[in-house]
Amino acid sequence: MKKKRNEILQMVVLDPEVAILDETDSGLDIDALQTISKGINTFMNDGKAIVLITHYQRLLDYIKPTFVHVMRDGKIIKTGDFSLAQELELKGYEWLKED
């Protein structure tokens, strides 16, 4: 938790226009996830962008993305809004092989 919190603090202090957060939810319990999510949501505004890489819906319960992209073999195979994340939670990824 401490390392993840420090990463978010560093992001806020450096104030980049674009930040990439890879597997930010990895290894966090629900309380830590809420804390990290608050930091990310506080950072976000119209002049900022975050590429948030995750495999799980749990993080998206606290951070609502504007766009959702699904990658396979290094290529974006599906793009949508927040509803795509919800659909993935219900169906998994297997149905995307049909597209």
* 5-11: average pLDDT: 89
Q: Could you tell me if residue 18 is inside a domain?
A: yes
Please tell me the distance from the alpha carbon of residue 47 to that of residue 96, in angstroms, as a whole number.
Answer: 32
Q: How many residues does the chain have?
A: 99
CA distance linking residue 43 with residue 91, whole number of Å:
31
Percentage above 70 pLDDT, the chain: 98
Residue whose C-alpha is closest to residue 36's, from 27, 24, 50: 24
Residues 43 and 8 occupy one common structural domain: yes
Mean pLDDT within 63-83: 93
| 18-22 and 49-53 beta bridge pairing | parallel
User: Is residue 7 a part of any domain in this protein?
Assistant: yes
Answer whether residue 57 is part of any domain: no
Structurally, how many domains does the chain consist of?
2
Assigned domain for 9 exists: yes
What is the phi/psi pair of residue 2, to 5°? -60, -40
- Give the structural domain span for 44: 1-51
